[in-house]
Amino acid sequence: MAMMIQSNSLTASNFFFPNQSNFYRGKVRDVYSIGSDILVMIACDRISAFDHVLPRSIPYKGQVLNEIACFFLDKTNDIVPNWKISTPDPHVTIGRRCEPIPIEFVLRKYLTGHAWRTYREGGRMLCGNILPEGLKENDPLPKCIITPSTKAHSGHDIDTSYTEILESGLIPKARLDALYETSFALFERGTQISHNKGLVLVDTKYEFGLKGDGFVLIDEIHTPDSSRFFYLDTYDALQQKGLSQRQLSKEFVREWLIKNGFQGKKGEVIPPMTDDFVGNISERYEELYLAITGSPMKRRSYENILEQVQNNINNELTKYFDEQ
């Protein structure tokens, strides 16, 4: 058993649990399979952008991601079942293993990020959706749209469309229609909750998995890694003046990387991340936690985090299997 910690952050894990059958390290999460039905997902403090894991981890980022995701999973389980069983540790969720559907359902209500970069370069068709003329960055779209992408194991995900998914035979029409309907319902719920907290849910992504005869919501939901949020009280004034929006998301990290010559392209080098910049990112994540939940985040202790995480997971797994 070992875990790597970088200056008060949880960078990666290397556990072995009873009945462990597999291990997978994603860009941000370390995922352990227990038997054939259970997943232990550790949200580490790594941060990625442009499909690259950046060289420094962000203190408390994993805790923020994990706790916000669980907050929204609990707030949306009347719309669609989800994979979560329990959260035994601030960085950990234990859930049911599903067969992932290899499509990310990206929903957009505003012209921001990838959609804006496409539009700025002259694109008026995005994943089968027609974008009207005359829009500015961060303007609202006429309606919420889905811009799906194929889920890549490595490298960049690839934009696709409803029609292309059907033509590929990847998902039957009835199920794809249900996934679209569910995605729109989840976005509407996220919009309502965000609005009540003084935020605008700008865009987000959802991932689903097959379980039995149906599908369930998996992974994270409405976190700053998977979503963008603007502040509601200043949105209109800033937009009218053509100023940048106050936002809570990873977009400012992407913008900093672009400014410093990195977009994940071949030959580009990730710029050094200063202590001040790392601290700024950490503060942004905690700011979103407060805005979404209405309560300050209770920072977990990084002292003896090895034992904390391992013991919390083992205790929860023992309890779960004893109850089966």
Domain ranges of the chain: 2-98+274-323, 100-253
Place of tokens 């990838």: 114
CA distance 289 to 68: 7
Assess if CATH 3.30.200.20 describes domain 2-98+274-323.
yes
The reported pLDDT for the residue numbered 322 is: 85
* pLDDT at position 152 over 80: no
Q: Which helix (H) or strand (E) holds 192?
A: helix 173-196
**CATH class as words, domain 100-253:** alpha beta
Instruction: Give CA 113 to chain center in angstroms.
Output: 15
- Going by C-beta distance under 8 Å and a sequence separation of 6 or more, which residues neighbour residue 25? 12, 31
Does position 156 have pLDDT exceeding 70, yes or no?
no
Between CA 320 and CA 62 the distance in angstroms is 24
pLDDT at 229: 94
Domains 2-98+274-323 and 100-253 share a fold: no
pLDDT 10s digits, 9-63: 899 999 999 999 999 999 999 999 999 999 999 999 999 998 899 999 999 999 9
pLDDT at 154 over 80: no
d(CA 297, CA 285): 10
Q: pTM here?
A: 0.89
CA distance 105 to 108: 10
